[in-house]
Amino acid sequence: MFHFSIVIDSFPYILEGTLVTLKYTLLSIFFGFMIGSILALMKLSSYKAFRIFSNFYTSIFRGTPLLVQLSLIYFALPQLTGYRITAFEAGVLAFSLNSGAYVSEIIRAGIQAVDKGQFEAAAALGIPQHIMMRDIIFPQAIKNILPALVNEFVNLLKESAIISMIGEADLLRRATIIAAEKYIYFEPLLAVGLIYYILVILFSKFATLLEKRLNKSD
């Protein structure tokens, strides 16, 4: 009934997909955090144009499915620009832009949660705003929002499975290839599900250790 021996034989091939999945996830976390940080500052800016743009951006990327965004970038963008974007570029771009919208809201809330006295003290000392945000406010905000950021990045790891829809040989894609070749679906898909689960657990444990380390440094 079960054919786990086939999965064991193909396990090295499946594990190679783990590297593809992690590559997408880590790059998207990095760029998504950068985009989210910029958008968060724009939302708190005194310039109305910045606030309008950042809120519109967030509304668009949070209000439409990630798969639709990925499809637009991978299939429609070449039609409009003439540039044949690779699956790798499309995946990282779509995940980063999407994650940036969610991260911006998390960071904005974290900055607003910092005691207003910190802002007033920095202003009284004549500290430039960009230095105040970089050295005083932002580090405190990150400590406060770390659990929410971890949750967003874990979601990104799980959502990365949709890159298989554009032909990237990630975990899910490799599982479906094995399933089609061997005419079995339960075993390879179960194996991939377990790998995703282990990755999420490891990621969460790392975040917990990081949070404890940051709290000790206070």
**Which of residues 3 and 92 earns the better pLDDT score?**
92
Mean model confidence pLDDT for the chain: 89
pLDDT digits (tens, 9 = 90+) for 74-106: 999 999 999 999 999 999 999 999 999 999 999
CATH code of the region 4-216? 1.10.3720.10
Instruction: Choose the weakest-confidence range: 16-30, 82-96, 113-127, 185-199.
Output: 113-127
pLDDT digits (tens, 9 = 90+) for 144-176: 888 888 888 899 999 999 999 898 889 999 999
Instruction: Choose the weakest-confidence range: 84-93, 104-113, 116-125, 201-210.
Output: 116-125
Q: What is the 3-state secondary structure (H, E, C) of the chain?
A: CCCHHHHHHHHHHHHHHHHHHHHHHHHHHHHHHHHHHHHHHHHCCCCHHHHHHHHHHHHHHHHCCHHHHHHHHHHHHHHHHCCCCCHHHHHHHHHHHHHHHHHHHHHHHHHHHCCHHHHHHHHHCCCCHHHHHHHHHHHHHHHHHHHHHHHHHHHHHHHHHHHHHHCCCCHHHHHHHHHHHHCCCHHHHHHHHHHHHHHHHHHHHHHHHHHHHHHHCC
Q: Quick one: pLDDT at residue 1?
A: 64
**Which of residues 38 and 141 earns the better pLDDT score?**
38
The pLDDT > 90 percentage for the chain reads 53
pLDDT digits (tens, 9 = 90+) for 183-206: 888 988 999 999 999 999 998 888
pLDDT at 118 over 80: no
